[in-house]
Amino acid sequence: MSSKAYTFNTLSVSVPKTFVYHVELNRPKQLNAQTEEMWTELKNCFEAINVDPDCRVVVISGNGKMFTAGLDFKVALENSQELSEIEDVARKAKFLRATIDKGQTAFTSMEMCNKPVLAAVHNACIGAGVSLITAADVRYCTKDAWFQVKEVLLGITCDVGALQRLPKVVGFNGLVREICYTARKFTAEEASKIGLVTSVFEDKESMMAGVLQIAQEIASNSPVAVQGTKRSLVFSRDHSTRDGLEHVATMNQGMLQSEDFITGVTALATKQKDIEFSKL
């Protein structure tokens, strides 16, 4: 792993298993509260991972007491001095739009990364944290985890992804609206019930062991097939069935000529186990 490509102030990147990268939100003293710097580093990190042949799966978690406390409003208020010096409303709006775009781009970079992203949540996942995890492919949590789309309590509309992705993860229904309108906390049990998380673990240690095992299983499969599957799933979510079929057919025109297809079919026919696929 290139140390230069993965050296950050607010993130920690490690390789716990072959082809599996672990990205940690790494502001534990600030409860992993998110700043513009973290958003920029998330974008840079996942753009680098996207083209890194040594990575096939990403696990994202939080270092310290909790997954994330959401937006770091202390830092945001300190940075608001620049905004206060702008008098014109149009220019204030342009300034604020640039900040919003950083948050949206940070989380979208996880979705656009071809490598599957598994989010492992412990303790609290608040505000922008929900926006972050809904951009991941799969979510897991500990028994003591809780979630909150908190923005309405602060007099703002969530603008970095939760309102757009949460309904697509758990379904367009009144419960999502209730969660977002009331800003109420909901537990790991409810998160599992509505389909926000796939599994609930006893504690962080068992969660990380379990999620890394799942990541390792994914990483053992053909990177051509797994990455193509993610792209097709993301595309099909936002398009019609007909468009999705056309997309995957066009993609597979090339993928079905890959050595991975021959390797996989041969292994199945010969009942070969522990096959290894080349880096992509």
Q: What are the tens digits of pLDDT across the range 186-238? A: 999 999 999 999 999 999 999 999 999 999 999 999 999 999 999 999 999 99
Does residue 82 lie within any of the structural domains?
Answer: yes
Range of the domain at 229: 223-270
What is the per-residue pLDDT for 273?
Answer: 80
10: CB partners within 8 A, 6+ apart? 25, 26, 27, 35, 37, 38, 41
For residues 136 and 179, state if they share a domain: yes
Kindly state whether residue 277 falls inside one of the protein's structural domains: no
Residue 151 falls inside a structural domain? yes
- Sequence letter at residue 128: A
Does residue 77 surpass a pLDDT of 90? Answer: no
Q: Are residues 99 and 232 in the same domain?
A: no
Does the pLDDT value for residue 79 go beyond 60? yes
Helix (H) / strand (E) containing 82: helix 73-84
pLDDT at 169: 97
Please give the Cα distance from 27 to 33 (Å, whole number). Answer: 7
For the chain, give the number of residues. 280
The answer on pLDDT for 4 being more than 70 is: no
* SS3 (DSSP) at 17: strand
CATH number of the domain where residue 131 is located:
3.90.226.10
Say if residues 14 and 61 touch (Cβ distance below 8 Å). no
- State the pLDDT confidence band at 26, using cuts at 50, 70 and 90: very high
Spatial separation of the C-alpha atoms in residues 141 and 146, rounded to whole Å: 9
In a domain, 192, yes or no: yes
Q: Are 103 and 144 part of one and the same domain?
A: yes
Residues 228 and 214 in one domain: no
Question: Quick check: is 280 in a domain?
Answer: no
Q: Tell me the mean pLDDT in the region 85-102.
A: 92
- The confidence band for 3, taking pLDDT boundaries of 50, 70 and 90, is low
Positive or negative, the CA dihedral 25, 5, 209, 278 is positive
- Residue recorded with tokens 């186990």: 273
Provide CB contacts within 8 A for 225, sequence distance 6+.
255, 260, 264
Does a structural domain hold residue 275? Answer: no
Taking the model in full, what pTM does it have?
0.95
Is there a single domain that holds both residue 139 and residue 194?
yes
Claim to verify: residue 106 and residue 166 sit in the same structural domain: yes
How many other CB atoms sit within 10 Å of the CB of residue 60? Answer: 26
Q: Is residue 68 part of a domain?
A: yes
Report the SS3 class of residue 137: coil
Beta bridge partners of 139: 119
Same domain, 111 and 147: yes
Write down which residue in 202, 219, 236 finishes a domain.
Answer: 219
- Is position 5 within any domain? no
Considering the domain architecture, whether residues 20 and 76 belong to the same structural domain is answered as yes
Residue 75 confidence class, pLDDT cut points 50, 70, 90: confident
Residue 93 makes CB contacts below 8 A (sequence gap 6+) with none
**H or E segment and range at residue 20:** strand 20-25
Torsion of CA 36, 185, 123, 103, to 10 degrees: -20
For residues 251 and 264, membership in a common domain is answered with: yes
Amino acid identity for residue 253 in this structure: Q
Nearest to 197 by CA among 216, 182, 220, 214: 214
Q: Strands of 186-187's sheet, edge to edge?
A: 124-126, 146-148, 186-187
Looking at the structure of the chain, the number of domains it has is 2
* CATH number of the CATH domain containing 231: 1.10.12.10
Q: 200 in helix, strand or coil?
A: strand
* Region 147-162 average pLDDT: 96
